[in-house]
Amino acid sequence: MLALIYFIILGVIAVGSALCVLLSKHPLYGALSLVVSMLSLAGIYGLLGSPFIGVVQIMVYAGAIIMLLTFVIMVLNAAKDGKTPMFDKVSLFVIPAALVLSGLVGFVLVRSGIAFDATAVRGSVKLTSETLFNVAQEGPGYFVLFEVIGLLLLSAMAAAVLMAKKRLGTDNEEDK
């Protein structure tokens, strides 16, 4: 029953932050919303009994989004930006979602015993790779998730490059 409640909370956070990515007008807020979405998806993977995919989700995709965010800040926002509001409609969802997500993580960490059980580690790199990248009809289909998120990150990077090129190609009145 508790897993169902966690799933519903994480699902609402994932869908809400994905909507915030679409509705955000500032790339910084969009990237932060995407990080919240990836973290909630990692929580859902953990609930489904795939902690490895959850950790990969955090390390690879959330880390890649943070790097994309860093490049967006460096390329698009070189000057002081006085027009960006401190809070907007997107932050009304992202801030409570981040608080709920951190509360869930804190609750789970406090409630569970943090002890390493050496007998629980079962598997190898070969078994993990066969499970993740099994493209057979009866396979779990985890490779599709990697492909979809990879395409999403590629399109985000292409959009960032196009936005930077558009801004670099215009003449500023301050430079004249």
Letter for the amino acid at 50?
S
* First-last CA distance in the chain: 65
The reported pLDDT for the residue numbered 98 is: 78
Residues 125-169 have pLDDT tens digits of 777 777 777 777 777 777 777 788 888 888 888 888 887 776 655
* In the predicted structure, residue 40 carries a pLDDT above the cut 80: yes
Most confident of 13-17, 56-60, 154-158, 163-167: 13-17
* In the predicted structure, residue 13 carries a pLDDT above the cut 70: yes
Write the CATH number of the domain with boundaries 1-80. Answer: 1.20.120.1200
Separation between Cα atoms, residue 65 and residue 18, nearest integer Å = 14
How much is the mean pLDDT over the chain? 76
Residue 124: alpha-carbon gap to chain centroid: 27
Exposure class string for 83-119: b at 16+ Cβ within 10 A, else e: eeeeeeebbebbeebbeebeebeeeeeeeeeeeeeee
CB distance 104 to 9 below 8 Å: yes
Separation between Cα atoms, residue 149 and residue 161, nearest integer Å = 18
> Which of 148, 145, 117 lies closest to 131 in space, CA to CA?
145
What is the residue extent of each domain of the chain? 1-80, 134-176
Tokens representing residue 86 in the block: 């401190």
SS3 content of the chain, % helix, strand, coil (to 5): 75, 0, 25
